[in-house]
Amino acid sequence: MNQLSCEIDTPVGRNGIKAIFKGNEDGPTIAFRADFDALPVHEQNDVPYRSKNDGCMHACGHDGHTLGVAEIVNEHRHLLKGNVVFIFQYGEEIIPGGSQEMIDDGCLKNVDKIYGTHLWSGYPSGTIYSRPGAMMASPDEV
């Protein structure tokens, strides 16, 4: 990834990160939410981004798309009309997680819309699926 040129705010809440790409013109502020917590899973992949901690793997799909979008936003920041914010939430897998602490610390201040999308390996690369309303949201623990 190329070096990103953005403002970084950390910690947000206890351990969160907020990165802001400021546009050249006034416009809406759009946020993308990702998480960076890890699950107690032994990673079996042999890839460069493999976890350095045995028995601890980030097996979620939020971060892959968010880091890719950040790189694209950075490369095209001269075209931005408004701002793009990337919010990296900690503790997603543990209720209540870090979201409320981050919100209380102002991570959504001046944000007009927020997206929390997810990679889904069952679909072809380069394809976007959506529908009106909430999708893949779950505020519970089993």
Q: What string of DSSP letters covers 4-39?
A: P--EEEEEETTTEEEEEEE-SEEEEEEEEEEE---B
Q: How far is residue 102's CA from residue 13's CA, in Å, rounded to a whole number?
A: 4
Is the pLDDT at 62 greater than 90, yes or no?
no
- CATH topology assigned to domain 7-116: Aminopeptidase (3.40.630)
Q: CB of 80 within 8 A of CB of 29?
A: no
Q: Which two tokens stand for residue 120?
A: 């889904």
* pTM metric for this prediction: 0.75
Q: Which of 35, 43, 92, 101 is catalytic?
A: 92
Note if 92 is an active site residue. Answer: yes
Which candidate in 37, 54, 105, 140 is catalytic?
37
- Domain residue spans in the chain? 7-116
Tokens describing residue 134: 């909430």
For the stretch 90-125, pLDDT in tens is 877 677 778 899 999 999 999 999 987 666 667 787
Distance between CA atoms of residues 71 and 54, nearest Å? 29
Catalytic residue status for 43 = no
The pLDDT value recorded for residue 1 is 44
Per-residue model confidence as pLDDT tens digits over 43-55:
888 888 788 888 8
